[in-house]
Structures are given as structure tokens and as C-alpha cells.
Structure 1
Amino acid sequence: MKTETTAPKAHADRDCSAGEPGAPRRGRPRSEAAEQAIFAAVERLMEEGAGLAELSVERIAAAAGVGKATIYRRWPNKEALLIDVVARLDVPEPVLCGRGVRDDLVGMMEYMRQAGLAKRSRWMLKAALGQMHSWPELRNAYEERVLRPRRELARTIIRRGVDEGVLRDDLDLDILAEIVMGPMLLRTVLWEDAPLDDPTLPERMVDAVLRGVGADPAR
């Protein structure tokens, strides 16, 4: 599994509200129908009460109506498949529009707000994320494949804000990222009963933070 992360690029011609699917894995062309059947089978088994640790490749293949080889042609092991399932349940990561640091910060915060709402409303996602804490191998793989690229996406925005003079350059980048993202993380992770249904929340949070850490308040 790769440990290096490539900084995401800005795409001015894309819709910022839409996420991107995960990068396709190399190998032979895959049957979309078979893959969808496999995803649906895992979700159905979870709906019936199966925990992630209880899902074997054999059980998933039988539920999907495919052979084990069909699964192994797409994923090297069960952990890789389950990571894709959880990522599919989760909110797709945001795409940087590149119109400006503030817009990208608002987009990142909106993504976090939507992820928080999804976790509250989709019990399967909440259950899967909770179960990963007791399965270190899967948790570490999810962290590497899903969480680390999203953290790097946030760092990319912050780094560009510093380079463009929008954010202070005398603070550690990680601390600066935590200051900017902290208000939304507080609501989505620590205070799970805090309101998230206000669509203006990301913009108001970003503007409030920028007034405190902006190198030039006028900007």
C-alpha cells in the first residue's frame, strides 16, 4: 500500500459541490454490474446485522451471486473491499475549484458538514466507522487510503493561503489547518448534537476564522 500522497490540484472548470470517485485500480476491465452487486451485497449483509469482521469473501460472494475470483480480481483482500464500501457510504471528497483560498476553505468545510450529516443520518456508515476502531488493520488502511488524502487536501488549501498572503506565514501549517478546520470538526466529531443543517455555516465559520488569522483583513 502506498504511503506517499500527491497534493490535489485545483480544477476551475469543475463543480465544487461534487466529489470525485476514487481513482480506478489498475488491472483488467471490470464489470460494473458485478461490482455494484458486490457493493450491494455487503450493504445488505450489514443491514441484516453482520459486522465488518464477520464478512468473509465467501459470504460476500455468495450474497452477490459471483465467484470469489470475481472479488479477488477487483480487490487484493477483504480489507481493501470493505474500505471501498465504507468510502462509498461516506461523502465523496471535495474538488478544489481554484477560484480562491476562501472559496476552497468554504468548500472543504461544506464537505465536512455534509460528512457529519451523513454520519448522523446513515446508521450503516456510523456503524462501519465505529467498528473500524476495534479492527486496527482496517482502520489503518482506511486512514491511509481515505483520511490521509483528505487531510492533505486541507493542507494544500492552507499552504496556498499562506503562499498567497491570505493567511499568516508565522504559524505551523498543521496548527493553522487545525485552527481553520477545528470549528466544524468540533460540531461533527465531539458535539454530535450540535446543529449542522444551516448551509451558511461553512461560510460563516471560514469568515470568522479569517478575521482572526488573515494576514490582510481587507482580503
Structure 2
Amino acid sequence: MTSAETPLQPCHGPVAEQDAPRRGRPRSEAAEQAIYAAVEKLMEDGTGLAQLSIERIAAEAGVGKATIYRRWPNKEALLVDVVARLEEPLPPMLGPTYRDDLISAVDYMRRRGLIKRSRWVVRSALGQMNAWPELKQTYQERVVQPRREMVRQIVRRGVTAGELRADLDVELLCELLIGPILLRTVLWDDAPLEDPDLPRQMVDAALQGIGAGPVATRAAAR
């Protein structure tokens, strides 16, 4: 370890365990936590994503640049990890039905929306990504696509079970089922999200349909 990493060894708290025989893992975790905290601190102080550099992050974290590069190939990968770790991990798909998993997926997005509103760092980072194509692409590949694939798997389960229409494109089904929560968390970012029963209401409304009667019957009545 370089001398620049010395500040990562305080004399109190969890990092003090580095002095114990098991040094490798705690030391690595301490360095990573310091790097994550440094990025958050720089952003909270008003540093934009474009102005963040490995040099500034390393200086703020009290580590050498090599310590960062041993963990991340570039700044984009590090920043995606910083944003991703502030969000909850994807929920486990435990069923027992596809509807239960779908409600869990929508609730995950509801909670993510609340986190985005309450965490300035997340809101700022996501807002600036649109102006930084490289970072946006990395974020899409590592964070957004896994969420989309989670929903696709749930929908495919519903189709296989004969409970969702097999004549509709899977992507369209996903959009119909997930669209309402994305509307509230992405486009209408001041819409209510606090009600924990909201995911069930959204899912059941989509599954049951919002029309008062069969479409053919209503059309014939006109």
C-alpha cells in the first residue's frame, strides 16, 4: 500500500480492525468506502460529473490513484457504482405467483423514486447523465437493463402460466404494467409515492383493465 493511503487507517471505528491478522479484506473495504464517500462529498459540494476526476477523488479519499484503478477501469464505472449503491438491490423473485413478483417489482421502483427524491446525490447524478453519453450508456447497461430484464422474466412467467395474453408483445406488456410507476417516478417526480399499497393498486388496475365493460360492448353502444 502506498503512503498516500495512510489516512485510511484511523485509530478508532471499524477500520481499526485492519491491525488484526485479517488485514486484506477490511483494508480493501475501508478503501472502497472512502472512495465512495469522496465522490458523494465532492458532488454534495457542487462538483459536476464532468469535473470529477480520478485525481480529485483520490485526493478527497486519501488514497492513491492506483487504489482506484485496481477496483474500477475508469471513472464512468466508478460513478455508476456510486449511484447504484445508493439504490436498493433488485428484490428477489419469490412468488408464489407472477402477480406477487410484479407487485414487488413495482414497489421496488416506488421506493427507488422516494430515494431519488430524498438523496440529492442520486438526483443530481441521474440528471447530469443525459449530457454525458458514455456514463449514461454504462448506467443503462449495468443498472437499467437488469431492472428491465427482471420485469421481462416476470411477464414471461405470467404468459407461460396462461394468466397474461400471449398474443401481445412481451415489451408491450412490460410497458403497460410498469409504465404507471415510471410515470410517477421519472416524469411526474412530484406525484405521490408514499402509499405502500400503491404498487398493488397499479398492478391490479392493469391486470383487471380500466374499462367499465368489454370494449366491444362499449363500442357497439355508441
Give the shorter-chain TM-score range.
0.7 to 0.9
Selected match of 2:200 from 188, 199, 203: 203
Alignment of 1:14-163 (within 5 A): 31-163=28-160
Q: Which residue of 1 aligns with 2:20?
A: none
Task: Write the distance in 2 (CA, Å) between the matches of 1:100 and 1:161.
Answer: 8
Shift of 1:90: 2.5
Task: Write the distance in 2 (CA, Å) between the matches of 1:183 and 1:61.
Answer: 41
Shift of 1:195: 0.7
SS at match of 1:31: helix
Task: Give unmatched runs, 5+ long, in structure 1.
Answer: 1-27, 214-219
Q: If the length of structure 2 is used for normalisation, what is the TM-score?
A: 0.80
Shift of 1:191: 1.5
Work out which structure has the larger RCO, using CA pairs closer than 8 Å and 6 or more positions apart in sequence: 1
Any runs of at least 4 consecutive aligned residues in structure 1 with deviations exceeding 4 A, and if so which?
Answer: none
Task: Write the distance in 2 (CA, Å) between the matches of 1:123 and 1:72.
Answer: 26
Shift of 1:91: 3.0
Shift of 1:184: 0.9
Query: Which structure has the larger Rg over C-alpha atoms?
Result: 2
Task: Write the distance in 1 (CA, Å) between the matches of 2:39 and 2:76.
Answer: 12
Counterpart of 2:86, as a letter, is L
1:164 equivalenced with 2:161 (yes/no): yes
- Deviation readout 1:49-97 (Å, 9 max, x if unpaired): 1111111111111111111111011001111101100111223222211
Task: Write the distance in 1 (CA, Å) between the matches of 2:147 and 2:185.
Answer: 16
Task: Write the distance in 2 (CA, Å) between the matches of 1:192 and 1:40.
Answer: 26
SS at match of 2:209: helix
Task: Write the distance in 1 (CA, Å) between the matches of 2:120 and 2:56.
Answer: 22
- Deviation readout 1:159-218 (Å, 9 max, x if unpaired): 1110011111110000011001111111111212211110000011111111139xxxxx
Task: Give unmatched runs, 5+ long, in structure 2.
Answer: 1-23, 211-222
Selected match of 1:182 from 179, 182, 185: 179
Number of residue pairs aligned between Structure 1 and Structure 2? 186
- Supply the RMSD in Å over aligned alpha carbons: 1.5
Please identify which structure carries the higher helix content.
Answer: 2
Q: Which residue of 2 aligns with 1:6?
A: none
SS at match of 1:186: helix
Q: If the length of structure 1 is used for normalisation, what is the TM-score?
A: 0.82
Give the fraction of aligned pairs with identical amino acids, expressed as a percent: 66
